[in-house]
Amino acid sequence: MKDILNAPFLTELVRTCTNMYGHGWDERNGGNISVLLEEGDAGEYLDPAAVLRRIPTGFTAPALEGRYFLVTGTGKYFKNVQYDPAVNLGILRLAEGGRTAELLWGFADGGRFTSEFPAHMMSHAARLSVDPQNRVVMHCHPNNLLAMTYVHDLDEKAFTRTLWQMETECIMVFPEGVNVLPWMLCGTNEIGQATAEKMKTARLVVWAQHGIYGAGKDLDETFSLIETAEKASEIYM
Ligand SMILES: [Zn+2]
């Protein structure tokens, strides 16, 4: 078995968390990321039969049965991920129609997956239904996008048009535009379902007065989507 701390999927996630913290998008325990892993990739680094813990998820996601996810932990700080990946991150396999997460690695202090796990898993299922290449769901609190939701019309077409107008590149980077959810209580299945519904038509979903969700085929694409939208918001603001 290879050392998981050298796995490219792990080192890239660690670097991404550090980078996002550096951008000021993930204060305290803000932000969370989930990465869908190929079973074969995960199998090089861990024993798929060695389940450390079974954690109830509180939702169902039959489309994700048996899939492996690398996920940030609840209450964990992005700034600390690089110093102790095994405590701040975990690898899970969804079982029993998504009702149970089987922990295969990580959350070494007894922790568990992000409180936004429902929004992540439902978003993965939604994105995969329209794009089989999707692997990443990312949530964070970029200053300008968040601030913009206080002062701009939350109509999706209007919000998208403003972002496109701020920077020519935007229409190439997110031609499908951005979707917007009104303020909702976070950490619930309801906001998870609402986010997933919005994810069917766009890879960016703004949570008004809270932050943004992004999705993509890898960490670079997803980070860059948010980065570009945030830059356009900054110019607008
Ligand atoms: Zn948040």
190 classed as catalytic: no
pLDDT band at 57 (very low <50, low <70, confident <90, very high): very high
**pLDDT band with cut points at 50, 70 and 90 for residue 208:** very high
Q: Report how far ligand 1's centroid is from the alpha carbon of 75 (Å).
A: 11
Query: pLDDT-based confidence at 132, cuts 50/70/90?
Result: very high
pLDDT of residue 158: 98
pLDDT of residue 151: 98
Using an 8 Å Cβ cutoff, are 106 and 86 in contact? yes
pLDDT digit string (tens) for 153-173? Answer: 999 999 999 999 999 999 999
pLDDT for 60? 94
- pLDDT tens digit string along 37-53? 999 999 999 999 999 99
Given 102, 116, 221, 230, which residue is catalytic?
A: 116
What is the rounded distance in angstroms from the CA atom of residue 122 to the CA atom of residue 18?
25
pLDDT in tens, 84-105: 999 999 999 999 999 999 999 9
Q: How much of the chain, in percent, has pLDDT values that exceed 70?
A: 100
String of DSSP letters for 154-204: --HHHHHHHHHHH-TTHHHH-TT--EEEPP--TTSHHHHHHHHHHHTT-SE
Q: What's the CA-to-centroid distance between 25 and ligand 1, angstroms?
A: 10
Q: Ligand 1 centroid to 129 CA: how many Å?
A: 24
Residue 21's pLDDT band (cuts 50, 70, 90): very high
Residues with CB in 5 Å of ion ligand 1: 211
Report the amino acid identity of residue 205: V
Q: Place 82 in a pLDDT band, splitting at 50, 70 and 90.
A: very high
- CA 155 – ligand 1 centroid, Å: 21
Ligand 1 centroid – CA 58 distance (Å):
19
pLDDT band of residue 218 (cuts 50, 70, 90) is very high
Give pLDDT, residue 27: 97
State both tokens at 81.
């991920």
- Triad 28, 184, 164: Cα angle to 5°: 80
How far is CA 226 from each of CA 71, 135, 138, 203, rounded to the nearest angstrom? 19, 16, 9, 10
